[in-house]
Structure 1
């Protein structure tokens, strides 16, 4: 039975809530841009020594800026674009497509009552976040 993308996203949110999963998404491109910009400005203002100082300061600031704050995974899932949600849906649906359910509530009950299915769907979620979004995953409070 086809199921709405939003229902699968809610199911994945529920699984990640149960496991108290959080993730930090690193934006290395922004850090590199900051480091390069400060090196450039340093070079304009101070010549070769300015490039070195600007690059060092920019590198430190860029690293700090992109270290990432850990957010609950349900928040990250809900902030995904429709195309990203569709990709995650496709990966998750490959696991649940053979289940027999009538609605989203029954599907959620089936999955939450089966540790093996939860583990498989959590693995799909972790794989997606790690590879597609380059996120670092943490568990617990």
Structure 2
């Protein structure tokens, strides 16, 4: 049975839900900007010691601002635009094209019953999330 993008997205959603994967897009630029602004303002107000204090406070604020923004990977995958889903599909199809299956239930069972296939697909997914979306990933092993 031919695979389409929706089938592959369903498979990735099932796999990532099983592994309890969550991802957060890093906002390191805004955190760094806040740390730099804190150091600058601290330097203006307190000289060299103010730079250290302002940088530390700005860094803490930046870290607080960007923490806790993890979302379930299935939710992220379903919100991807079609062009991004196609990129992920293109990577996964190389792994899945030689499998013999009749419906999504059987395909999912084939993948979930084969640790090697799971690892390959997880690798594709994690590579996509970290490289394309620059996301930090958490999951249960």
TM-score by length of 1: 0.74
| 1:70-106 deviation per Cα after TM superposition (whole angstroms, max 9, x unaligned) | 3222122223333332222221111001223344444
Q: CA RMSD in A?
A: 2.8
Matched, 1:56 2:82: no
SS in 2 for 1:24: strand
Cα deviation for residue 67 of structure 1 reads 3.1
Q: Give the paired residue count.
A: 139
Query: In structure 2, the residue corresponding to 1:15 is in which secondary structure?
Result: helix
Q: Stretches of 4+ moved more than 6 A in 1?
A: none
In structure 2, the partner of 1:137 is: 138
Range with bigger deviation, 14-23 or 34-43: 34-43
1:39 to partner: Cα distance: 4.1
Report whether the alignment pairs 1:29 with 2:26. Answer: no
Aligned position for 1:12? 12
Alignment of 1:77-116 (within 5 A): 77-116=77-116
CA contact (8 A) 1:5 1:89 kept: yes
Alpha-carbon shift at residue 128 of structure 1 (Å): 2.2
Cα distance in 2 between the residues matched to 1:51 and 1:79: 41
Classify the secondary structure of the residue corresponding to 1:139.
coil
How far has the Cα of 1:53 moved from its partner? 4.1
The 8 Å contact of residues 17 and 74 in structure 2, kept in 1 or not, is answered as yes
1:67 is matched with which residue?
A: 67
Q: CA deviation at 1:116?
A: 2.5
Q: Post-superposition shift, 1:64?
A: 2.0
The TM-score, its normalising length taken from structure 2, stands at: 0.74
Residue segments in structure 1 that go unaligned for 5+ positions in a row: none
Contact 2:95 2:121 in 1 (8 A): yes
